[in-house]
Chain A
Amino acid sequence: MTPIISVEHLTKSYATSFQALKGINLAINQGEIFALLGPNGAGKTTLINIICGIVSPGDGRVIADGHDIVRDYRAARSKIGLVPQELNTDAFETVWATVNFSRGLFGRAPNAVFIEKLLQDLSLTDKRNSKIRTLSGGMKRRVMIAKALSHEPKILFLDEPTAGVDVELRRDMWALVSNLRTQGCTIILTTHYIEEAEEMADRIGVISKGELILVDEKSALMKKLGKRQLTLHLREPLQNVPSELATWNLELRAEGNDLVYIFEDSHASDISVLLQRLSGLGIHFKDLQTDQSSLEDIFVSLVSTRT
């Protein structure tokens, strides 16, 4: 199957001669949800902005739905919707006007029924005549999503969609995203939270310092990356890990005050077994916490194993 987006040897240097992208190769499949994961400054926004036409590309090329984004920009862009990272909206326009503006800008004939439905899906119906500047941040983001979807794009880019977003909007957004996916829309989102990529994506690409370090199915990647640890703050310090628990991946830290269990994401259900065994052995704890390997840890391990 030909990919809906293919990025080939794409580079980008900004005017400061800073190289933000160093030869990106990436193929996005039709209908998938793809998460671009990477720390701040990795080049996620740069990559997205090039594909969407906001930043001019360096070398290499990008094909979107069969159209070169530079030579055939008109056809390419009319297939793409973008919710940018920053909340940049007009102030004095109404919600209704600004969403219809976007549809027109992207070359589509007016369709009040469609826009009505879109506002409804985003819980914006009762705000349709409100001026944008009177809306809360969350509502503004909904407006930006409505604008991005106003021309019925086949490909949707969400740049850091949940940064600074409340729980309700987050939930609505995921509902919307899965709904769009069932309609065949391809979705590419960026995030620097591993959980977020995990929650939604089919495939994940990890980008660091302008290079795409790896691209993999989420499940495969999570197995690789998803080491978690459970820390039990013990009531009484232990000298050694009891021999009855030798088969568990346990270690003692903080002078025997903390018992740490390192496990793969898929083995999370073992925790209750472990806790039972511990209480059976008379080992009690005051508190517990679970941690996920941080993205930074993951990058360190990825970069060091890559060579």
Chain B
Amino acid sequence: MIGLTFNKYGVWAIYKFEMARALRTIVQSLITPVITTSLYFVVFGAALGSRVSGVGGTSYGAFIVPGLIMLAVLTQSLANASFGIYFPKFTGTIYELLSAPVSHFEILIAYVGAAATKSVVVGLIILLTAGFFVPIHILHPIWMLAFLFITAVTFSLFGFIIGIWANGFEQLQFIPMLIVTPLTFLGGAFYSVDMLPPGWRTFSLFNPVVYLISGYRWSFYGKADVSFILSFAMTVGFFAVFLGIVSWIFKTGYRLKN
């Protein structure tokens, strides 16, 4: 019985609610990434880029575009999803979610779906903005969208986990600030891993973000630090890991109910 029914109105209600939250702050939601991206181009693309020769035949400005998008998608997904599920816990409105005939899985679809939608939109806006600064061509558009989509969902899942785990706003920011942002900056958004000394290069391969950015850059320019198959496998692997953690949380009721 339970497995057969699906509360589509419930999922839609949460999804709409989350999207409405973003729409209320539409100006910040959209202007911020545009300004940030433009700044990156002014600093890295124009100021530095003119002194840095292109990377593997791609101009430096164009080279950083996929990394910038990934950077934004990662942080936006984490922020949106973690805040989305943390906030009802904080205000106490979670009572309604817990008392509603929605399964954990449906709650997950709604929150992760909304967070991922928002970060994909932001990613595409950055892509458009970047198009004003540098000529961009996308060699494998389908793969580009696939990487974008899976990464958005994966890190929204991650954000959802953080939001459930967090007991305060500091904890909400802790993982993104202390772990994810450094990993992203060291993940080859602004350089090719090949440019690093051999020791660091090996070390980099332990950084999961390297695979995401490398694979994503491959979908643009057909060149990558690691094989795109490996990148894709890793991306899907992260998705599976986070899905596993979420399933465990749901099965044990961890931090959801007293």
A25 at interface (Cβ–Cβ under 8 A)? Answer: no
CA–CA, A108 to B1, complex, Å?
18
A116 at interface (Cβ–Cβ under 8 A)? Answer: no
Q: Which residues of A contact B167 (CB under 8 A)?
A: none
Q: Which residues of A contact B99 (CB under 8 A)?
A: 52-54, 77, 80, 82
Chain A's closest residue to B2 (CB) is A74
- The one of B1, B10, B20, B92 in contact with A106, judged by C-beta atoms closer than 8 angstroms, is B10
- The one of B5, B13, B96, B98 in contact with A74, judged by C-beta atoms closer than 8 angstroms, is B5
Q: What 1/0 mask marks residues of chain A from 73 to 98 whose CB sits below 8 Å from any chain B CB?
A: 11111101010101011111100010
A105 at interface (Cβ–Cβ under 8 A)? Answer: yes
A107 at interface (Cβ–Cβ under 8 A)? Answer: yes
Q: Which residues of B contact A97 (CB under 8 A)?
A: 17, 20
- The one of B12, B91, B98, B101 in contact with A54, judged by C-beta atoms closer than 8 angstroms, is B98
How many interface residues does chain A have, given as a range? 35 or more
Q: A72-B1, A74-B101, A78-B101 are in contact. Are A105 and B95 (CB under 8 A)?
A: no
- Give, as a whole number of angstroms, the nearest-CB distance from A132 to chain B: 10
Please determine whether B100 and A106 come into contact, CB atoms closer than 8 angstroms: yes
- The one of A56, A71, A73, A105 in contact with B13, judged by C-beta atoms closer than 8 angstroms, is A105
B24 at interface (Cβ–Cβ under 8 A)? Answer: yes
Please determine whether A90 and B93 come into contact, CB atoms closer than 8 angstroms: yes
A14 at interface (Cβ–Cβ under 8 A)? Answer: yes
CA–CA, A14 to B257, complex, Å?
10
Q: A74-B5, A82-B95, A101-B17 are in contact. Are A54 and B24 (CB under 8 A)?
A: no
- Max chain A Cβ within 10 angstroms of own Cβ: one of B93, B95, B101, B257: B101
Complex interface residues of chain B between 16 and 46 (CB less than 8 A to chain A): 16-17, 20-21, 24
- The one of A71, A82, A86, A107 in contact with B101, judged by C-beta atoms closer than 8 angstroms, is A107
Q: Which residues of B contact A76 (CB under 8 A)?
A: 101
Please determine whether B13 and A54 come into contact, CB atoms closer than 8 angstroms: no
Q: A52-B99, A104-B9 are in contact. Are A88 and B2 (CB under 8 A)?
A: no
Q: Which residues of A contact B253 (CB under 8 A)?
A: 56
CA–CA, A103 to B17, complex, Å?
13
A147 at interface (Cβ–Cβ under 8 A)? Answer: yes
Complex interface residues of chain A between 1 and 48 (CB less than 8 A to chain B): 14-15
Q: A89-B93, A105-B14 are in contact. Are A77 and B257 (CB under 8 A)?
A: no
Q: A55-B258, A74-B2 are in contact. Are A88 and B95 (CB under 8 A)?
A: yes
B59 at interface (Cβ–Cβ under 8 A)? Answer: no
A102 at interface (Cβ–Cβ under 8 A)? Answer: yes
Please determine whether B91 and A90 come into contact, CB atoms closer than 8 angstroms: yes
Complex interface residues of chain B between 80 and 97 (CB less than 8 A to chain A): 91-93, 95-97
CA–CA, A49 to B7, complex, Å?
22
Please determine whether B257 and A56 come into contact, CB atoms closer than 8 angstroms: yes
- The one of B17, B95, B100, B258 in contact with A14, judged by C-beta atoms closer than 8 angstroms, is B258
Q: Which residues of A contact B12 (CB under 8 A)?
A: 104
Q: Which residues of A contact B17 (CB under 8 A)?
A: 93, 97, 101
Please determine whether A105 and B10 come into contact, CB atoms closer than 8 angstroms: yes
Chain B's closest residue to A78 (CB) is B101
Please determine whether B13 and A101 come into contact, CB atoms closer than 8 angstroms: yes
- The one of B1, B5, B92, B258 in contact with A56, judged by C-beta atoms closer than 8 angstroms, is B258
B186 at interface (Cβ–Cβ under 8 A)? Answer: no
- Give, as a whole number of angstroms, the nearest-CB distance from B100 to chain A: 4
Q: Which residues of B contact A91 (CB under 8 A)?
A: 91
Q: Which residues of B contact A112 (CB under 8 A)?
A: none
Q: Which residues of A contact B97 (CB under 8 A)?
A: 105
A109 at interface (Cβ–Cβ under 8 A)? Answer: yes
Please determine whether B257 and A54 come into contact, CB atoms closer than 8 angstroms: yes
- Give, as a whole number of angstroms, the nearest-CB distance from B85 to chain A: 14
Please determine whether A105 and B100 come into contact, CB atoms closer than 8 angstroms: yes
Please determine whether B258 and A15 come into contact, CB atoms closer than 8 angstroms: yes
Q: A56-B258, A104-B9, A108-B9 are in contact. Are A84 and B1 (CB under 8 A)?
A: no
B192 at interface (Cβ–Cβ under 8 A)? Answer: no
Please determine whether B7 and A74 come into contact, CB atoms closer than 8 angstroms: yes
B103 at interface (Cβ–Cβ under 8 A)? Answer: yes
Please determine whether B10 and A104 come into contact, CB atoms closer than 8 angstroms: yes
Q: What 1/0 mask marks residues of chain A from 101 to 137 whose CB sits below 8 Å from any chain B CB?
A: 1111111111000000000000000000000000000
- Known A-B contacts: A54-B95, A74-B7, A80-B99. Give 15 more (CB < 8 A): A15-B258, A55-B257, A55-B258, A88-B95, A89-B91, A91-B91, A93-B20, A101-B13, A101-B17, A103-B9, A104-B16, A105-B96, A106-B9, A106-B101, A108-B9
30 contacts between A and B (CB under 8 A): A52-B99, A53-B98, A54-B257, A55-B257, A55-B258, A56-B253, A73-B2, A74-B1, A74-B103, A76-B101, A77-B99, A77-B101, A80-B99, A82-B99, A84-B95, A86-B92, A88-B92, A88-B93, A88-B95, A89-B91, A90-B91, A91-B91, A93-B20, A97-B17, A97-B20, A102-B96, A105-B10, A105-B97, A106-B101, A107-B7
Residues of chain A whose beta carbon lies under 8 Å from any beta carbon of chain B: 14-15, 49, 52-56, 71-78, 80, 82, 84, 86, 88-93, 97, 100-110, 147
Question: Closest 7 CB pairs between A and B?
Answer: A104-B13, A88-B92, A77-B101, A74-B101, A52-B99, A104-B9, A78-B101
